[in-house]
């Protein structure tokens, strides 16, 4: 069992939260790393509702040619949201990541799981540095894209993709983010794409987990919100 949210009301509350919090902090715009995935799409859509499209500055941060398909989805999303083309910036992180990896003596080989994860973490932290620098340039806050499922599972890179100034999705489970995405009109191609951190080719969240977000959310909700025991959840077949 999962909780049943009033999705339209949730959208209104999150929109008001963003507008109030950003304004109270003395800012009028945000920067956001847009990946072509569901979380950054929903965060961007909420920011446009709260601040207007002219106040949202998206960053696309590809590495080599790994993100071509996802990048295309991101561009189509941003156009659909009416964000001005002048606000959208693409920064290729490949030179930064390669330089850092070379300085660290990192040369991942096939089958080198540790090296692959190290490189993925460098990518996430390189994106964070560029994102916060862009925010300083634009006198903006960094809009985060982390959801409750990722937070509880620890599925993020510390000082990387979990770094932000404001997190509109932190109290929503991944399955709820999908519900909100449909309400906000996020394109179907994004809603149907396999969730991925994009840290190596063909990487997917659920492939790494060995279980689905649906299963994870049922267990996390049961443990943390419904305060049920692991034994009770197991008796339900989880």
- According to DSSP, the residues that pair with 60 across neighbouring strands are 90
Asked if 42 contacts 177 with a C-beta cutoff of 8 angstroms, the reply is: yes
Task: Give the pLDDT confidence score for residue 68 in this predicted structure.
Answer: 85
The model's pLDDT over 76-104, given as tens digits with 9 standing for 90+, comes to 999 999 999 999 999 999 999 999 999 99
Domains within the chain, CATH numbers bracketed: 7-194 (3.40.50.620)
Predicted TM-score (pTM) above 0.85: yes
* 46: CB partners within 8 A, 6+ apart: 11, 14, 15, 18, 168, 184
Closest CA to 75 of 66, 87, 93, 88: 88
pLDDT tens for residues 170-217? Answer: 999 999 999 999 999 999 999 999 898 877 777 889 988 999 999 999
* Percent of residues, the chain, with pLDDT higher than 90: 86
| φ and ψ of 167, to 5 deg | -125, 95
- The number of angstroms, rounded, from the C-alpha of 199 to the middle of its chain's C-alpha atoms is 13
Using one digit for the tens of pLDDT, what is the confidence trace for 51-69? 999 999 999 999 998 878 8
Which pairs count as long-range contacts for 7-11, CB under 8 Å and 24+ apart, including other chains?
Answer: 7/176, 7/179, 7/180, 7/183, 8/183, 10/172, 10/176, 10/180, 11/46, 11/49, 11/180, 11/183, 11/184
The whole-angstrom separation of Cα 137 and Cα 172 is 30
pLDDT the model gives residue 123: 95
d(CA 172, CA 192): 19
pLDDT confidence of residue 110: 77
CB distance 168 to 144 below 8 Å: yes
Q: What angle do CA 159, 65, 207 make, to 5 degrees?
A: 60
Whole-number mean pLDDT of the chain? 94
pLDDT at 8 over 90: yes
Reported as a pLDDT band with limits 50, 70 and 90, residue 218 is very high
């Amino acid at each position: 069992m999962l909780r049943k949210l009033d999705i339209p009301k949730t959208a209104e509350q999150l929109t008001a939260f963003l507008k109030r919090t950003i304004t109270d902090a003395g800012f009028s715009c945000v920067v956001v790393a847009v990946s072509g995935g569901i979380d950054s799409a929903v965060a961007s859509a909420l920011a446009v509702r709260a601040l207007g499209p002219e106040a949202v500055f998206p960053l696309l941060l590809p590495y080599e040619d790994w993100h071509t398909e996802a990048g295309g989805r991101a561009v189509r999303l941003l156009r659909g949201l009416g964000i001005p083309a002048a606000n959208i910036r693409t920064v290729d992180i490949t030179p930064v990541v390669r330089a850092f990896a070379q300085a660290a003596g990192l040369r991942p080989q096939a089958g080198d799981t540790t090296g692959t994860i190290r490189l993925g973490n460098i990518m996430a932290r390189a994106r964070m540095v560029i994102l916060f620098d862009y925010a300083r340039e634009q006198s903006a806050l960094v809009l985060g894209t982390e959801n409750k499922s990722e937070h509880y599972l620890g599925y993020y890179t510390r000082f990387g993709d979990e770094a932000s100034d404001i997190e509109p999705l932190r109290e929503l489970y991944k399955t709820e983010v999908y519900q909100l995405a449909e309400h906000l009109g996020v394109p179907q191609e994004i809603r149907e794409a396999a969730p991925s951190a994009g840290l190596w080719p063909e990487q997917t969240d659920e492939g790494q987990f060995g279980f689905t977000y649906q299963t994870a959310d049922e267990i996390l909700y049961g443990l943390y919100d419904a305060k049920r025991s692991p034994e009770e959840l197991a008796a339900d077949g989880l």
